[in-house]
């Protein structure tokens, strides 16, 4: 059974700023929530807090008092909470305390699920938001902006001209090549090119089930501006959503197929969002692709529909499915040739393939100079030439983009250990090479 999500079932989503932000509902109908769900949240909140003012209840639930008031009146009529004080200027200032009857009712609700806090956003509202966000998402990726975003890296124009269009089109990409050439750093730098911001719901409500979405590890909230005009604007925004930077989620060898599905906790009674839902509106980087616990084929089988249709399907424990817009750029970073991981049919669905090539000698020197500058040590090109001629060339060591940084750090660590001046010398670099490279190792394979 698939739940179709369409139509406007609640408060209209507007764009009060340059990004889309939902407007705060003024009634329980506009919130899209049922009276029963708000009552459950109210009693569970009072169960743990004991006594709260009307203003505090509304703030903790992320709703206007006008939305919460019908639920308060309802539980008052059932003698599940009572007014115990407050100023005589209306419901928001009154203090409410849960009764023994209300506490018994709250315990029953907690057996169903232990979600307490900001009220969830209905699935329909979230889908409407993402559909509008898809149209309003800024796409101002130019060659100059790409060069600026990657200015801390030494990359060829060929690489930059492959990465830029992929980001602009928000298409998935393979970033592949020998280890140590900055594939992960390239993927991370993409986030700096994502303009705008995103509203992320604390939680979703799907057919009475709660899915926690906001993740403080991967979502970076944006502070509310302090100027008066901005305050008057943000007073109108739905507090059930968090203004965030567009996210970047990175996973590696620990990724499993289960991470891509809703995770239900039998202890808490609610769901955790899969990684692609957390990354929605931003970037999902799958680092070391091909080294996960599941096979590349199994992993890409899971991505076939989302990558092509831009719609993802998730399943509740009841077996009920629902769909979500899939608005993220997936970056597969790997040291393995894509053709060795998956067949042509899968590669066709990943539109962009970016080869992170070995640096040239000139690039290697540029990286070395940049790393020296970052660490406040003098750059000596003759020293680098000596390193390449007398150490790299006899041992047939392939150049890698990470080597200058690593060798400089090890040389400086050696200087600290010996108690000598922190500057690069031939002896220090040779000592760094001796501990960095494995002498008996076969020459590193070089990509054609």
For residues 33 and 204, is the Cβ–Cβ distance under 8 A?
no
* Within a domain: 7: no
* Within a domain: 224: yes
| 190, 139: one domain | yes
What is each CA distance from 343 to 292, 301, 355, in whole angstroms?
18, 12, 18
> And the tokens for 95?
């203090």
Domain of residue 350, residue span: 123-355
| 53, 141: one domain | no
For residues 402 and 181, is the Cβ–Cβ distance under 8 A?
yes
Per-residue confidence (pLDDT) for residue 137, from 0 to 100: 73
pLDDT score of 235 more than 60: no
Per-residue confidence (pLDDT) for residue 234, from 0 to 100: 42
Give the number of domains in the chain: 3
Helices H, strands E: what count in the chain?
19, 20
| 110, 234: one domain | no
| 270, 236: one domain | yes
| Integer Cα distance of 35 and 29 in angstroms | 9
User: Which of 293, 277, 291, 294 minimizes the C-alpha distance to 332?
Assistant: 291
**Domain final residue, candidates 304, 320, 355:** 355
Q: How many CB atoms lie within 10 A of CB 403?
A: 24
* Within a domain: 221: yes
User: Which of 368, 392, 367 minimizes the C-alpha distance to 444?
Assistant: 392
* Within a domain: 18: no
Task: Pick 203 or 352 by higher pLDDT.
Answer: 203
Min mean pLDDT across 173-177, 212-216, 259-263 is at 173-177
**Domain final residue, candidates 293, 321, 355:** 355
pLDDT score of 77 more than 90: yes
| 162, 40: one domain | no
**Domain final residue, candidates 95, 117, 139:** 117
* Within a domain: 444: no
Q: 32: left (phi > 0), else alpha (psi -120 to 50), else beta?
A: left
| 349, 387: one domain | no
| 172, 285: one domain | yes
| 261, 244: one domain | yes
Per-residue confidence (pLDDT) for residue 317, from 0 to 100: 92
| 281, 199: one domain | yes
Per-residue confidence (pLDDT) for residue 217, from 0 to 100: 93
Per-residue confidence (pLDDT) for residue 228, from 0 to 100: 40
* Within a domain: 14: no
* Within a domain: 20: no
For residues 223 and 46, is the Cβ–Cβ distance under 8 A?
no
| 175, 140: one domain | yes
Question: What is the model's pTM?
Answer: 0.82
Average pLDDT over residues 187-200: 82
Residue 225 — very low, low, confident or very high, per pLDDT cuts 50/70/90?
A: low
Average pLDDT over residues 179-193: 78
CATH of residue 273: 3.40.50.300
| 101, 130: one domain | no
Per-residue confidence (pLDDT) for residue 442, from 0 to 100: 54
SS3 155: coil
pLDDT score of 125 more than 50: yes
């Amino acid at each position: 059974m698939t739940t179709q999500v369409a139509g406007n079932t609640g408060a209209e989503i507007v764009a009060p700023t340059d990004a889309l932000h939902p407007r705060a509902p003024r009634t329980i109908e506009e919130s899209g929530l049922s009276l029963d769900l708000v009552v459950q949240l109210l009693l569970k909140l009072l169960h743990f807090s004991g006594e709260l003012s009307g203003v505090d209840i509304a703030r903790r639930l992320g709703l206007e008092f006008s939305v919460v008031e019908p639920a308060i009146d309802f539980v008052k009529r059932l003698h599940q909470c009572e007014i115990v004080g407050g100023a005589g200027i209306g419901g928001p200032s009154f203090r409410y305390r849960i009764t023994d009857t209300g506490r018994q009712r709250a315990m029953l609700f907690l057996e169903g699920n232990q979600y307490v806090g900001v009220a969830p956003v209905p699935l329909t509202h979230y889908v409407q938001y993402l559909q509008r966000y898809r149209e309003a998402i800024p796409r101002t990726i130019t060659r100059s902006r790409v060069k600026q975003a990657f200015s801390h890296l030494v990359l060829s124009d060929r690489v930059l001209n492959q990465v830029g269009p992929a980001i602009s089109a928000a298409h998935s990409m393979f970033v592949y090549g020998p280890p140590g050439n900055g594939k992960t750093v390239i993927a991370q730098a993409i986030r700096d090119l994502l303009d705008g911001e995103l509203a992320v719901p604390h939680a979703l409500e799907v057919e009475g089930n709660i899915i926690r979405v906001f993740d403080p590890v991967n979502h970076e909230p944006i502070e509310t501006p302090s100027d008066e005009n901005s305050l008057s604007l943000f007073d109108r925004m739905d507090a059930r959503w968090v203004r965030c930077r567009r996210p970047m989620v990175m996973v590696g060898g620990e990724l499993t197929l289960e991470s891509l599905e809703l995770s239900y906790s039998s202890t808490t009674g609610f769901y955790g969002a899969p990684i692609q839902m957390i990354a929605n509106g931003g970037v999902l980087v799958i680092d070391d692709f091909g080294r996960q616990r599941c096979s590349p084929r199994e992993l890409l089988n899971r991505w076939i529909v989302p990558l092509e249709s831009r719609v993802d399907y998730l399943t509740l424990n009841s077996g009920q499915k629902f769909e979500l817009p899939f608005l993220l750029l997936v970056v597969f970073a790997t040291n393995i040739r894509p053709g060795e991981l998956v067949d042509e049919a899968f590669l066709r669905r990943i539109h962009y393939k970016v080869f992170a090539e070995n640096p040239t000698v000139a690039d290697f020197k540029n990286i070395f100079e940049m790393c020296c500058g970052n660490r406040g040590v003098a750059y000596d090109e003759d020293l680098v030439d000596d390193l390449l001629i007398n150490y790299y060339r006899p041992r047939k060591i392939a150049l890698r983009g990470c080597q200058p940084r690593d060798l400089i750090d090890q040389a400086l660590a050696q200087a600290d250990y010996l108690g000598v001046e922190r500057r690069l010398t031939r002896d220090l670099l040779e000592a760094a090479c001796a501990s960095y490279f494995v002498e008996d190792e076969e020459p590193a394979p070089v990509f054609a």
